[in-house]
Chains A and B, each alone.
Chain A
Amino acid sequence: MKYPLREIFRKGSGELISSEVGYKRWPLHSLVPKIGLTLLFIWSLVNLNISPRLFLEGIPHFFNLVSEMFPPNWEVFWRGKILWSILETLAMAFVGTFWGALGAFFFALLAASNLSPSKIVREIAKRCLTAERSIPPLIYILLLVVVIGLGPFAGTIVIALGTIGMLGKLFAEAIETIDPKPLESLESAGATKPQIIRYAVLPQVTPSLIANTLFRFDINLRVALFLGVVGGGGIGVDLQMAMSLFRYADALAITVVTLVVIWTAERISDFFRRKVIGQEVLL
């Protein structure tokens, strides 16, 4: 082709694109990272021994797995305490989210620029939250299991900690963006800190706090499922055991019931979230 399409397009309506969409020098601009990333990708594939052959080999395994999984073995629920484990997972997520959100609110009060008692306290609180977010939950759970033993209590603490890290930041941002007028008028009337929080801050941030907390609950359900595998209690470990002992029919039954429970919990949290956000819109 004598005139590549790119050139025609550039000359034709290229001006329009660069001015309206904010697209300029796109191909050249990112050439270096593009080539670098391509090389990195190829090197990674070689280093990890990944080839399309592995994928093709997986296909018959997949059909084997499916045929072994059906029919799902529902009897597994009468054996042991599978249903109790599912309840445990649910309770871990719920209790962890509740205490985590309370802790996050406390941290947010210290970390928000318009409420913090002093600059140093604010800096410390913010650093704590950042550090908290950057530590993967795997590290917490492994150490906590050593300290307080296996079981759902360790998992609950890990979930609460993770919740504090994320919600603390979001809550602090919500508090920082409130309308300052009620706060200032209460301050000038000589209100105490708890009074300011109750009458100027809480009415403005409550919908956002509840919506974010419910959102985090959805995430925590998945975290709780995972924590079971590393000794945090709940259904995760039963699922992994069934899988690694090749009892795939059991695994499918557990998976189905777990998914139904998680989806139901999500629908409930979705319902409340909509209710809360709807109220905010109405106000």
Chain B
Amino acid sequence: MVKRYSKYLLSAGVLALLVSGGMIVCRVDPILLVKGIPRGLELIGHMLPPAWGKITDLLSPALETLQIAFVGTVLGAGLSFIIGILASRNMHSMRFLRDFTRVLLSAERALPDLIVMLFFVAIVGLGAFPGVMALAVSSVGMLGKLFADAIEEVDPKPVESLEAIGASKAQIIHFAVLPQVFPSIIANTLYRFEVNIRMSILLGVVGAGGIGFNLVTSIRLMKYQEAMAAILIILLLVTFCEKSAEVLRKVMIGQELLR
């Protein structure tokens, strides 16, 4: 028995050491957690019933959050398509440009979204615009790569036949590439929209407007019933977005996927 597991002993020991070291750094304290349970129940007591009267005040920030996510996703997807074409092997023959965009894309993916957000807030100030820009830019890293991969996999026959009859680059993209990558673009963009709606809630915290800001302020001011109303709206918003993305996915690409 001991012999059988001895080869795992070293890695298990290192892992245990790392975890316990990490737990000391994080000041993990089970007693605090146990003590927290009655306090948590008390907090829930303070939060109920939700401040229904405040719901109407929260609707416009909720709409703002939704619109920031929507505009950011659309701009990001449009930008990603252009970058995707630049980064794909079969659309042009400028190798340098392709490698450059690929490097740019992977650098963007490696950049944490929080840093992108903070920089845009610093550049354009508070409000919805830095939020939209941050979401658009952070969408490009992922969508640009996925779009480029989809474009590289298109069937070359329509592209070649259009080239043969003398179509321009824009026409080739419109009539030969876009129809083929359309389902993949829509599916990935809708997925990114679901990510972005969550991020757009977080944006409120760093000062880019929306319902996240209302939630943070009402908790800091210890208005827990208003916080509960904001939480309910956030949950509703997230569920609504997931459902509508699902519906859009079915309406726009359902048939293609079925075939």
| A interface residues (Cβ-Cβ under 8 A, vs B) | 5-6, 8-9, 12-13, 16-17, 20-24, 26, 29-30, 32-33, 37, 40-41, 44-45, 47-50, 54-55, 57-58, 61-62, 65, 87-88, 90-92, 94-95, 98, 134-136, 138-139, 142-144, 146-149, 151-153, 155-157, 221-222, 225-226, 229-230, 233, 236, 239-240, 243-244, 248, 251, 255, 258-259, 262-263, 266
Contact = CB atoms under 8 A, between A and B. Distances in A.
Describe A's contact surface by its main secondary structure. helix
Nearest to B115: A255
B71 to A, nearest CB: 5
16 contacts: A24-B256, A37-B74, A49-B128, A50-B128, A57-B124, A94-B19, A95-B23, A138-B205, A148-B35, A222-B114, A226-B113, A230-B216, A240-B206, A243-B118, A244-B207, A259-B115
A169 to B, nearest CB: 14
Contacts of A45: 71
Interface residues of B, number: 79
B171 interface: yes
B259 A138 contact: no
A47 B238 contact: no
B12 interface: no
Contact of B71 (A50, A134, A142, A152): A50
A151 B215 contact: no
Query: Which 4 A-B pairs give the minimum distances between C-beta atoms?
Result: A91-B22, A44-B67, A91-B25, A48-B128
B248 A33 contact: yes
Interface string B176-205: 000110110000000000000010011001
Contact of B205 (A61, A156, A229, A258): A229
A239 B239 contact: no
A23 B231 contact: no
